[in-house]
């Protein structure tokens, strides 16, 4: 039986209004604009308001994706939210988004795969549509990393921002859409990027909070070592599964974590800079929202047209990694 072609038919993204510049961080920790730009490529990032949460960002991004697809929320029959910063531990962010979008009954669940979450979610959505179980799926990646960032740790506090990206996934014209995906994990290295406290292993106590274990902790050199290997490997595997070559890529959209990681991957893949979309300077690392925000911007900038081969590649906590190859459908 021939499987349906499944792809993205609408996309939207949303970032909060408040901007934190490198100059702002110079007032908080011992750092400099020059050091941050040189080491990470980041110039500014967006922070959510104190009374808002991940579901608020996801909801706004979802509305824009539905508008872009010329659909209403009633046309959707499943919501998947990728996040490591849900509003609450017990209620899934997807269910809260469902409520805020004003729809009932349709199923909703979260995926926690770190910065690779959107790639994982697209892979799951494609399979569910090809199985005939669902027709149109709303896939969202949203994060509020500013609220889990240790503002006393100069090595991590400058890296992260808040934002969300949403995609409507559905059947598309034959030969277009998601051509392949490749996802993986290396759980043995989970300790190099984590939030140690707040879960069932180590619930928050006065001690864990005093030790700031409820914030992101990262072994930067080890994460870098993992990323520069996993990034090109996942990209190559996904491209091979699509029956293509690296030279066939029209636009590579990498996870916007660190400019040096992106540049290292570009060299290993031998892909020119004009085929790589970078916006890390504007948003920092927004985890699972990262590739979606970048794709939304690239589309708005006219850098993606129908028939283009677009590749999303990400890596993140878990540790996880993955890549999706699409032939753009509209």
Name the percent of the chain lying above pLDDT 70.
100
Q: What is the per-residue pLDDT across 90-136, written as a single tens digit (0 to 9) for each?
A: 999 999 999 999 999 999 999 999 999 999 999 999 999 999 999 99
Instruction: Please give the Cα distance from 305 to 125 (Å, whole number).
Output: 23
Residue 151 near residue 157 (C-beta atoms within 8 A)? yes
Q: What is the per-residue pLDDT across 281-329, written as a single tens digit (0 to 9) for each?
A: 999 999 999 999 999 999 999 999 999 999 999 999 999 999 999 999 9
Q: E strands, the chain, where?
A: 6-14, 18-21, 44-47, 78-82, 108-111, 136-144, 162-171, 177-185, 193-194, 217-218, 251-254, 309-316, 320-327
pLDDT at position 189 over 90:
no
Position of tokens 């290997």?
229
* Active-site residue (options: 22, 157, 255, 258): 255
**Quick one: which of 156, 166, 145 has its CA closest to 60?**
166
Give the SS3 label for residue 162: strand
The DSSP annotation for 222-267 comes to HHHHHHHHHHHHHHHHHHHHTT--GGG-SEEEE--S-HHHHHHHHH
Structure tokens at 139: 């896939």
**Domain 6-176 CATH superfamily:** Thiolase/Chalcone synthase (3.40.47.10)
Structure tokens at 167: 């995609």
Rounded to an integer, the average pLDDT of 18-29 is 97
What strands, in cross-sheet order, belong to the sheet with 162-171?
6-14, 162-171, 136-144, 78-82, 108-111
pLDDT at position 86 over 80:
yes
115 is catalytic: yes
Which pLDDT belongs to residue 168? 98
Which pLDDT belongs to residue 70? 98
Rounded to an integer, the average pLDDT of 228-235 is 97
Residue 168 near residue 5 (C-beta atoms within 8 A)? no
Which pLDDT belongs to residue 58? 98
* Active-site residue (options: 22, 68, 258, 285): 285
Give the SS3 label for residue 212: coil
Which pLDDT band holds residue 150 (cuts at 50, 70, 90)?
Answer: very high
Q: What is the per-residue pLDDT across 46-82, written as a single tens digit (0 to 9) for each?
A: 999 999 999 999 999 999 999 999 999 999 999 999 9
Rounded to an integer, the average pLDDT of 156-182 is 98
Instruction: Please give the Cα distance from 174 to 4 (Å, whole number).
Output: 7
Span 179-327 CATH architecture: 3-Layer(aba) Sandwich (3.40)
Which pLDDT band holds residue 190 (cuts at 50, 70, 90)?
Answer: confident
Rounded to an integer, the average pLDDT of 134-150 is 98
* Active-site residue (options: 115, 150, 258, 279): 115
Average model confidence (pLDDT) for the chain? 97
Position of tokens 């890296």?
159
Which pLDDT band holds residue 2 (cuts at 50, 70, 90)?
Answer: confident
Residue 177 near residue 7 (C-beta atoms within 8 A)? yes
Residue 69 near residue 31 (C-beta atoms within 8 A)? no
Half-sphere exposure of 77 (CA within 13 A, CB side): 8
Helix-helix angle 117-130:290-300, to 10 degrees: 80
Any idea where the domains of the chain sit in the sequence?
6-176, 179-327
């Amino acid at each position: 039986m021939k499987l349906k072609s499944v792809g993205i038919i609408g996309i939207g993204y949303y970032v909060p209004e408040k901007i934190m510049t490198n100059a702002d961080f110079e007032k908080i920790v011992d750092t400099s604009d020059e050091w941050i730009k040189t080491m990470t490529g980041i110039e500014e990032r967006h922070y959510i308001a104190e009374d808002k949460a991940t579901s608020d960002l996801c909801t706004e991004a979802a509305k824009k994706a539905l508008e872009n697809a010329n659909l209403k929320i009633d046309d959707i029959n499943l919501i998947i939210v990728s996040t490591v910063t849900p509003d609450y531990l017990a209620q899934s962010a997807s269910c809260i988004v469902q409520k805020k979008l004003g729809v009932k009954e349709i199923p909703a669940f979260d995926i926690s795969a770190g910065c690779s979450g959107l790639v994982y979610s697209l892979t799951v959505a494609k399979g569910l549509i090809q199985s005939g179980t669902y027709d149109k799926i709303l896939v969202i990646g949203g994060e509020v990393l500013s609220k889990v960032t240790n503002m006393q740790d100069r090595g991590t506090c400058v890296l992260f921002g808040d934002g969300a990206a949403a995609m409507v996934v559905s059947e598309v014209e034959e030969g277009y859409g998601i051509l392949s995906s490749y996802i993986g994990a290396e759980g043995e290295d989970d300790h190099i990027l984590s939030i140690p406290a707040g879960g069932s292993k180590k619930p928050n106590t006065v001690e864990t909070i005093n030790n700031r274990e409820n914030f992101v902790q990262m072994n930067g050199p080890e994460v870098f070592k993992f990323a520069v290997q996993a990034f090109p490997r996942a990209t190559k595997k996904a491209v091979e599964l699509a029956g293509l070559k690296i030279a066939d890529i029209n636009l590579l959209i990498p996870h916007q974590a660190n400019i040096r990681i992106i540049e290292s991957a570009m060299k290993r893949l031998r892909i020119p800079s004009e085929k790589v979309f970078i916006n890390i300077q504007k948003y920092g690392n927004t985890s699972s929202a990262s590739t979606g925000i970048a794709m939304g911007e690239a589309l708005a900038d006219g850098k993606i047209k129908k028939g283009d081969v677009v590749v999303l590649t990400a890596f993140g906590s878990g540790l996880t990694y993955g890549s999706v190859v699409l032939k753009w459908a509209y």
